[in-house]
């Protein structure tokens, strides 16, 4: 497969602990992620065939099958259904272009022992006013305590979405953990509402007031992250905004990771891996 598509290194494709596969996929670009998921799906499909007594096909057959499947998916994204049915696509197959692997991104920083980390992010689209908040609470081992995404109605800008994410995340964290909490966000302005008064008399004053009320109930410490360190909360918020949906789960045994809007979704569970096509 490595001769026809780019995959993570062999060293990374090994079980290295909890959610290892999710971490591998999170550090892939879109093309590498798609190829990796398709390969895992094919492996699972072949295992199912062997379980039911079918013959094991040669590796070249699997390689050709996946390459054809990926080409079909690429055509669906570039051409209309009518063009595909009428055969109005290039006759010559495009050459495979080797794309250099992106540099390794910064990892999510775990909280100290005895603390929990609340990662939050807000998503806002100026064109249509859609907005959402994503949040996930994890302990010092990285285990998920809860994860959620929520639509935000009547949102005016990106900062308001970020403040909503902090406020709603803190409220949920108080319900689901008794630990002191590090609040992680990639918006330094929004985090400033936890320690300063610069936004108290602004249009966001009601959100700042709620945030400061939560500070009276628990020890919350703000922590500024880079965007690449806050990928999970960012994905949750982005998915909620684009799909206009709300979700909340405690003791997360599965996580929906959208890797292509309107395409397929990866569902990771502790006992299996499924590809769900929408």
What pLDDT is stored for residue 111 in this prediction?
A: 96
Residue 181's contacts (CB-CB under 8 Å, 6 or more residues apart) are 111, 115, 116, 117, 118, 137, 170, 173, 218, 219, 220, 221
116-277: CATH number: 3.30.420.10
Mean pLDDT of 140-153: 93
70-112 tens-digit pLDDT: 777 777 767 676 766 666 665 545 444 454 555 556 789 999 9
194-228 tens-digit pLDDT: 999 888 889 999 999 999 999 999 999 999 999 88
Candidates 192, 209, 191; CA nearest to 200 is 209
Tell me what the pLDDT averaged over the chain comes to: 81
What pLDDT is stored for residue 88 in this prediction?
A: 60
Angle 59-78/30-51 helices, nearest 10 degrees? Answer: 130
DSSP of 210-264, one letter per residue?
A: HHHHHHTTS-EEEEE--GGGGHHHHHHHHHHHHHT--EEEES-SEEEEESSTTSE
Confidence of residue 21 (pLDDT cuts 50, 70, 90): confident
Q: Where along the chain do the CATH 3.30.420.10 domains lie?
A: 116-277
What pLDDT is stored for residue 275 in this prediction?
A: 33
DSSP state of 9: -
Is it the case that residue 268 has pLDDT exceeding 50? no
Please say whether the dihedral angle defined by the alpha carbons of residues 197, 202, 204 and 207, taken in this order, is positive or negative: positive
Q: Could you tell me the pTM of the whole model?
A: 0.60
What pLDDT is stored for residue 156 in this prediction?
A: 94
Q: What's the burial of 117, exposed, middle or buried (CB within 10 Å: 0-12/13-18/19+)? A: buried
Q: Which residues pair with 106 in a beta bridge?
A: none
């Amino acid at each position: 497969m490595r001769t026809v598509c780019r995959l993570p290194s062999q060293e990374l494709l090994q079980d290295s602990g909890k959610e290892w596969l999710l971490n591998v996929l999170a550090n892939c670009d879109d093309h590498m992620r798609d190829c990796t998921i398709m390969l895992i799906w094919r492996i699972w499909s072949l295992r199912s065939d062997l379980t039911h007594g079918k013959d094991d096909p040669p590796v070249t057959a699997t390689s050709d099958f996946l390459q054809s499947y990926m080409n079909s998916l690429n055509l669906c994204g570039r051409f209309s259904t009518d063009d595909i049915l009428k055969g109005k696509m290039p006759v010559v197959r495009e050459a495979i272009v080797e794309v250099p692997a992106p540099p390794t991104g910064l990892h999510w920083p775990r909280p100290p022992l005895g603390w929990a980390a609340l990662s939050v992010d807000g998503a806002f689209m100026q064109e249509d006013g859609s907005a959402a908040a994503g949040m996930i609470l994890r302990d010092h081992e990285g285990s998920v305590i809860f994860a959620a995404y929520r639509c935000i109605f009547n949102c005016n800008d990106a900062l308001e979405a970020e403040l909503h994410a902090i406020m709603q995340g803190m409220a949920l964290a108080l319900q689901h953990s008794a630990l002191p909490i590090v609040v992680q966000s990639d918006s330094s302005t929004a985090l400033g509402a936890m320690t300063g008064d610069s936004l108290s008399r602004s249009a966001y004053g009601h959100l700042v007031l709620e945030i400061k009320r939560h500070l009276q109930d628990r020890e919350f410490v703000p922590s500024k992250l880079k965007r690449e360190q806050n990928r999970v909360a960012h994905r949750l918020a982005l998915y909620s905004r684009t799909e206009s949906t709300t979700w909340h789960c405690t003791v997360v045994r599965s996580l929906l990771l959208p890797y292509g809007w309107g395409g397929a979704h990866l569902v990771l569970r502790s006992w299996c891996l499924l590809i769900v096509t929408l």
